[in-house]
Structure 1
Amino acid sequence: MAVRWSSEFYTAMEHKDLQANAMAVDNTGTYVLLAGRRYIAIKNLDDTDLENVRKFPRQSKYDVSAAEWNPISHQSELCVISSNQRLEVLTWRLGELTQMHSLRAHTRVITDLNWHQSNPNLLASCSVDTFIHIWDMRDPRRPASSLSAIAEASQVRWNRISSNLLATAHDGDVKLWDQRKGSAPVQYIAAHLSKIYGLDWSQQSETQLATSSQDNTIKFFDTNNPRKAEFVLTTNAPVWRARYTPFGNGLVTVVVPQLRRGENSLFLWNTTSRATPVHTFVGHRDVVLEFEWRKQRPGENDFQLVTWSKDQTLLVWRIEPFLQKLCGHDPDNHGKAERMHNEITDVSSEKKVASKIQPLQQEFSLLNVQIPNLEVLKMDAIRRSCTVLANTNNFSVILNVTFPNSYPNGVPPIFQIGEGSSVDETIAGKLIQTLTTTAQQRVSKNRTCLEPCLRQFVVTLEQLVDPSDGSRHHQPVYLESDVLGSFNDACIPFPRTSGAKFCSVSVLVCFTRQSPARRASVKIDSTTPRALSALGNAFNSRRANEYMTVYSYYLQKQRSRIKQNNRVLQKTVITVYDAADLFSVNKQLAEKYILDGDTSKICRHNALMAESIGRWDLVQAWSLARLIVNPQQVEQEDMLEHPFGNQLIQSLINFYATHSDLQMAAMLCCVFGKGEDENVRRKSFLKYLSSGQLASGKKWLKSGGSPYHTIPPADVVADGWVFPLLRTTRSNSLDNLRMEELPQLIPQRTSTSTLYEYYKLAYAEILHRWGLLYNRAEVLKYLSAPGEIHKGVEFLTDCQKCKQPARGSSCLNCKQLSLECVVCHISVRGSANCCLVCGHGGHTKHMQQWFEENNVCPTGCGCKCLLETIGMFNF
């Protein structure tokens, strides 16, 4: 746990081990609940010992989507969390968290829940299954009532004042329900065109409702006149939650976590003046997942906001009277007439201060803090200062930035190198000069300059060389001001112009467009389109409706640059990497491994080969396999009963297969799946692989089959189920090979022999890609499947003796050679050619010699064989 302190938040606790994604603060403001897949944790916010957190193991495969404490004082120990389709009602008493109820009625994932604001027994929940259930804790076996909304429900909220009303969100629509009036909604509001992420009822008016949406707006509705929003608050990002403050006219918003990485701040607004936020809460390093208000203690003027972020940090923010006044709330006004004049004066002065800090506060809120090699340590809009830390090229530099009151109207900020920086005075002076020049270029046009200056700060440091290397310092390089504004966009690659793919075994191919160097003379392209549909509008606006390809788009841009700057076309860079060290299979081993000979000799040889390349794990495996078959230690008839027999070989094969070492798994399958020898019948160590299933160099499944037939079959038939081993297209056959997923992909009734056939065939494919065709043929000899049935056009010869169709050189019916050469009248045993029209033919050499001088068939049938055959393929 790490503890951090700041001028804005007075408590910060980091809990990386919790991995929680839901948070809730209890009604008393004492306890905070953090819930995740692994733990439910309870933290006492009043405890000065920040390390004191009670954790209760949860051990669930589902995350917690929502959590909430009961808002009623006499039931404040009750809390509820939702996980997948279930609600868990928990109670916190005497330092122990126990489960009271498990509520199950939803059939899809629960999206939101909410306790009733005045009845401690009522709880509402909504789900993707389109239902809104209302639960009564006095009878938790089933929902007290159910509301059917037809569309998926994403939010549910009870009205804070009217006890019978609740609102639900469905995509961009809102439905209002009255629990006294059946299961039909009483009002329907077409609020947004995009999805609604948050609902919140006003704490002061029972008819005012706020909705936050993906369309970057928060809308405020009066339910008495819901056709049109009373007013709209527009932001620059999709809004995840928008909730009223417990004081004044304030509203706190946060962006959508899934859609806005890099924006980790919360914004405080005054709903009566909605131009810009009145304050930004900056401190989290990742997106905010949840925030809630802590109950105000008696005698205190400050309010406290508790936030939980994806960075697993809990922050408690103090909302001082100054910020409350910006939201229209006066904490010091007790209705005394004698203080009225002073209070008005104070509010006026605070508004003047607020008018000064708002532009700077807005700049802070829009700052992209994800700049490489840069860490923002502190941003304080009230004190008008910012502190950052840059680490690059062995330099560590702290930069303090102070903003004058007139900034950015022609007045640049003041830069200072902070104490503890690892640069000398010369470098520090150059950095300050560079930053001042960059800032002056911006503020001379009344533009803000913080982010361009910070990026220039990092770029300048990158151009410097550490003096410990004995090299001279390079001069800082100035980037144009208009370049800096689009620096992020220029680094985003356009779709389909960059990528990486594993092609063939151990080869990684990467391609990308050449990026311009970061120099002042090179202007970075700031108009990179984000989608293919934007090509026409991005460059060829006058012909926006015409279709433009990626190639033509960049070709036009390059030609335009050549005309302006006389530059040559940039070429696409394709880089091929040897990624052999990333894989378990090894080409050198494949060349040295053997499969012929005595099993003990094979194991010994392969162990030596593995030792030669330093694969000691394989040496141990081959030595263990040799120990099993060594006749000096194990009698031949006892091999099947040996403790190091069947189970160990199976374990070795499964171990290497699941660890993606397909080479070793296939070799073991081949070695210990050898068939019968001519004289000695060897018992198989793998009981489930009978000699009838296994192929060897001497015995084949199909009588008459050739031991040199090495064409791999497309499927292996086992137990009546056809298992597709590899794709028919060789280039894609190994792209989706994941050994760890095979047990789940293969049906349970598939025999283990089928799986081992897969290892052999896949390893043979790897050998083919390596060009080791002989080694591939050796492995394929151990396949047990029959040859693939021919699919496609097949030419048959009618036997000249019995006139029956014959597929081979000899007729299976009369056992005679089926084809006789029409030139030499000798039976054809080798290469032959026949006419597709008349059927006459013979030896290829004789037919070639004949048709070099003649154009009709040698038999005198009158067929012009060459012309007729060509004519058959003219479709």
Structure 2
Amino acid sequence: MSTNTWNNEYHIALEGKDLQANAMAVDCTGTYVVLAGRRYVAIANLEEEDSLKKFPRQSKYDVGTAEWNPTLHNKELCVISSNQRLEVLTWRNEELTQTHSLRAHTRVITDLNWHRFDPNLIASCSADTFIHIWDIRDPRRPTISLSAIAEASQVSWNRISPNILATAHDGDIKIWDQRKGTAPTKYIAAHLSKIHGLDWSPCSQNHLATSSQDNTVKFFDVESPRRPEHVLTTTSPVWRARYTPFGNGMITVVVPQLRRGENSLLLWNTANRSTPMHTFIGHRDVVLEFEWRSQKPGDTNYQLITWSKDQTLLVWKIEPFLQKLCGHEPEESKDPNDPVYSEIIESVKKSNSLTKVQPLLQEFSLMNVHIPNLEVINLDPTDRSCTVKATINNFVVNLQVLFPLAYPHGVPPVFQQTSSNINDKITSSLLQTLNHLAQQRVSKNRTCLEPCLRQMVTTLEQLSRDQENDKVVNTLYIEQPGVFSGLNDAYIPFPKTSGAKFCSVGMLVCFGRPVHRRLSNKIDSTTPRALSALENIIAKRNNSNYMTVSAYYFQKQRRPAKQAAAKPKALVLVYDALRLFFVDRQLAEEYILDGDVGTVCKHNAAAAASVGRCDLVQAWTLAELVAGPQQAEEEMTWAAHPFGSKLMQSLISHYASQSDVQMAAMLSCIFGKENDTSCSKKTSMKSLKSPTQFASGKRWFKNGGSPYHTIPPADVIAEGWVIPTLKTTRSTSLDNLRLEEPAFAPPPKNPSSSLYEYYKLAYAETLHRWRLIYNRAEVIKYMCAPADPHKGVQFVTECHGCQAPINQCCCNNCKRLSLQCSVCRISVRGSANCCIICGHGGHTNHLQEWFQTRDTCPTGCGCRCLMETAELFNT
């Protein structure tokens, strides 16, 4: 370890190839750093060379997170998470010992955080949805347990308020107050993708930053959490986003699991979020963790500590010019009369004059300032800045370029837009192009000012042409609709201006135009047949301006000045038409299905009598009488009764023809097929043939019929014509009935099975819309429709015992479990995942832990499972 040799802006503090650590933390004094992995826990002193001490770990689980106690009172305490437990370690007298083991979580711990004011409190969260608050003075159980519905991935104590903490659950945030019970005080729907990081503002107790898989960092005020105050957009998913200890800065890093070659950290100014202020380039692999080192007294340079997958620990010096880019003015606290300080100043001046200013001055002198459409306003090698102005068509852009001291050796310049008349989208595109070009050149230690300025002019010219083309297209299609509308709009039906529709729960919904609009002009009294007819109506009004449908029907009315300007409204009326139908919600709540057939019929007859349905009472009484022989003599079923089967068929067909789907479905459930093994419920009827006689001779959707009648009567369905599959239902909870007989096929020989299934499914949909979930579940239990044949890709593996190909959980030959976990070598009985390329797999949680730190198959076959599977699906 060396603290004196700096490579541009960083130095390598530690290289530990054998550590295989994936967690890093810096103590509150900035002296010690802990590196934790499956094999070792290592402690290093950042002030001394070769001070690394390694302590072996006897655990098969990796370390998820590590953190030092942030208070000076317990500065020697460090906590790491390993699978489902927390290990509290004490660093004293150059020895590391475990003092506490905290166990309460039932799944892997995802994050932890020490309390910033109380040195004894730790908060931990887990995939088991719990957030535990521990007091290390009583490690037997958590002092407070907070329960959430979704997995908790992040937890963070507020930096100012001692009782507030925040947790992340997928894309949501919950704010908790440990004084107010176990329910969250606030809820924030922050992102549509998973949140990877939380960080409270060091200056305000109400401000919080979140980093997510959706390539954004959002800034929230928890007092008004409906929408973020600001959004910072990056080019990759963000793993961590943390405030700087100075100014308005923020550091972001890409998600390690992506491994896209994004090995750098980005420094942002939260007041100017269009482009990063600086890029920290030095690691050869993705960054796993980074923290700020406490500033020493009298030092104006902050330090950033980073640990990467390349197993190197880098210390970055944040120079004053970077602090100024984040809105912070560093104060010189050194005494100029100090001879040591004077020597440092002279060294810096000499270094700047010899190695820093001269290359930049040479670049300025060799640059061609006569670039078309570009004016070079200022070139200052002393302040290391350049100011230019670009004027292209209607674009005017003023750009300032700042050159860090290490430029051009791996460090690009910083581009800042001072003033312009272009929007944020064009600004972001321009700065992104300049940063990309500059990064490419400085990575090879080449200067980049003139190429970037020429690229700036080219980019603005292209953006200007694109904007002009968009205006031409908008003029053709929006300002002059007559150019193309006459060709196409004649085939577009005019939108409905009124209508009425029944829904399956007895509601009639009606909508129409406002009454005063219908009566205001005779021209408006009829609805045009096509959209092109709207132009003729406008022409009759001598109105040459383009008008949309909504603008035509809802334009503002001219009213006297003294009259209240009430806005015209189109009403949507909803009527309760349940009494017009035979289905009844009260009956649906009181009907039963389970039990002896005679008892069920008697109960349902009493329910029908309570609502005044005498016809249903007679039907249930007949059903009870028909079921009687089974109760009197076990050997004789009621299906063998001379009136049994025919009577039930007649009853079901009668109520189906009357559109009483409720009664038809109930009888179909109670008197279903007993010998059908596909049914989940067995009842007392041996067989039930399809009805053959119907009062109505109508057929639905025959050749030459109207295609607009999409709902057939029940009696026509039984004739063997098209049976609807209910695919148009708006409820996604029902399993849609699919029939193997195609539409317009010859009538099936015995269509009763599909017919009775249709009644059950239609009634179940009505129950679902009534929100009678449990009643619907009872009806669904009596469904007898066969399972759909599998039409997708099937995973086939070989049995480990007899090598026979199998696609089920057990082998048909030797009866062994088919899949063996590649990690634990135990047969898989629960949730499992397999690689499509090599066929190896295992327990889902074992594979997830394995591929968090590795990218090759655990069997040693050499397959890069995640990457090769992703490439397969991308192709």
Q: Normalising by structure 1, what TM-score?
A: 0.43
